[in-house]
Amino acid sequence: MENSTLLSLANNYGCPLYVYDAERIIFQYNRLTKAFAGNNPLQINYATKALSNISVLKLLKSLGSNLDCVSIGEVLLGLEAGFEPKRISYTPNGVSMKELEEVQHLGAKITIDNLYTLRLFAEKFPDASVSIRINPQIMAGGNEKISVGHVNSKFGILKQHMEEVHRIVEETGINIIGVHMHTGSDILDVDIFLKGSEVLMGIAKEFENLEFIDFGGGFKVPYKEGDKSTNIELFAEKFKLRFSEFCEEYGRNLIMVFEPGKFLVSECGYFLAKVNTIKPSTNIVFVALDTGFNHLIRPMYYNAYHNITNISKPEGKEKKYNIVGYICETDTFAQEREISEISAGDILCFHNAGAYCFSMASNYNSRYLPAEVLFYKGKDYLIREAETFKDILRNQTKIELPL
């Protein structure tokens, strides 16, 4: 998106502000489906947790996407966005039986990732059809907090526990229609995906009634100039051949499922913030913004890199700055980052702000959540209003204790 367009949106809606380029989402979705098109049916389950605004969900529905949901709230959002229950896959971790029962009654597809829950669910719903999440015991991902397929991860059933899975199936009659894995996020190496796929297909052979195999997501996207990303086309070329061979061995075609989140929405997002103050220190210049980790926590939580540009003065002389927020704790977005010379009142733009940015935001320090805008073919659409003080008080009750 052009700087002039982003500045216009900042002036119209105020800062801080999240802006999403719908055409980028469409491009990424079409790129993925084109790469994996072939003899076997393909199903894309968008990872709702990446960016869960209902208007974004409706956009992805119009493209043909299904949903991957990890909570009852996300399932309800999907239904509200118009998805049929059968197009929603529910892949939670550590949830209560009560929540699983609610989702079962709503009709979404359920994936279970531990033996204890599988047995409880199977005894309650012996006629149900579910998938199971496998832990492939592979360490992969851009950060230890987003590596979820290694042996010490809380996610998935270990392959050495498959004997117990078969015992539960035999004793209850529950039908296993899919196997699932998700190794991690920001995975660059195509061979890591292929290695995990081999583990999953090896386990899939143990079940006779499969309809699909869900290979998860985790494709890496570029965050800065010169940054590498997953070669989707290369992976698809290798993977499709291997999956076709597997289906021939299995005896019928299964649906190949992927559940991308960041790949579809990361690059569509722009987070705009205004400079409050410039504070020189001994050998550091601090730039304080009208935002903090309450709105964008990824740099502090994951040590994630977001390219930051001064869209008010993009051609200015570059200087080094520490970009910080207004939260009453250390909330540093970037250290000694070279950015076009910054003045108070300038608008800074955080790129790659579509995935796990607004969806991880909070009201910490009693700050308001910002507005969200969807931009498509030259027109902007407000898809979430900025919060006000009334939103902070909503659901709170005032009482007077009898002291």
Residue 328 C-alpha from the chain's centroid? 28
Question: Which of 81-90, 120-129, 184-193, 375-384 shows the lowest per-residue confidence on average (mean pLDDT)?
Answer: 184-193
Residues 6+ apart with CB under 8 A from 105: none
Q: Cβ(322)–Cβ(287) under 8 Å?
A: yes
User: Would you say 173 is a known binding-site residue?
Assistant: no
User: Would you say 302 is a known binding-site residue?
Assistant: yes
User: Would you say 13 is a known binding-site residue?
Assistant: no
CATH T-level fold of 22-265: TIM Barrel (3.20.20)
Question: Which of 139-143, 234-238, 299-303 shows the lowest per-residue confidence on average (mean pLDDT)?
Answer: 139-143
CATH superfamily of 266-386: Lyase, Ornithine Decarboxylase; Chain A, domain 1 (2.40.37.10)
Can you give the pTM of this predicted structure? 0.93
User: Would you say 82 is a known binding-site residue?
Assistant: no
Q: What percent of the chain has a predicted confidence (pLDDT) above 70?
A: 95
Single out the catalytic residue among 268, 328, 349, 357.
Answer: 328
Banded pLDDT at 136 (limits 50, 70, 90) = confident
Which residue intervals of the chain bear CATH 3.20.20.10? 22-265
HSE of 355, CA atoms in CB hemisphere, 13 A:
27
Which residue intervals of the chain bear CATH 2.40.37.10? 266-386
Q: Cβ(125)–Cβ(102) under 8 Å?
A: no
User: Would you say 94 is a known binding-site residue?
Assistant: no
Q: Which helix (H) or strand (E) holds 12?
A: helix 3-13
Q: Which of 84-88, 91-95, 220-224 has the highest mean pLDDT?
A: 84-88
Residues 6+ apart with CB under 8 A from 219: 187, 229, 230, 232, 260, 262, 263
Banded pLDDT at 73 (limits 50, 70, 90) = very high
Asked if 328 is an active-site residue, the reply is: yes
- Is the pLDDT reported for residue 146 higher than 60? no
Q: Cβ(47)–Cβ(89) under 8 Å?
A: no
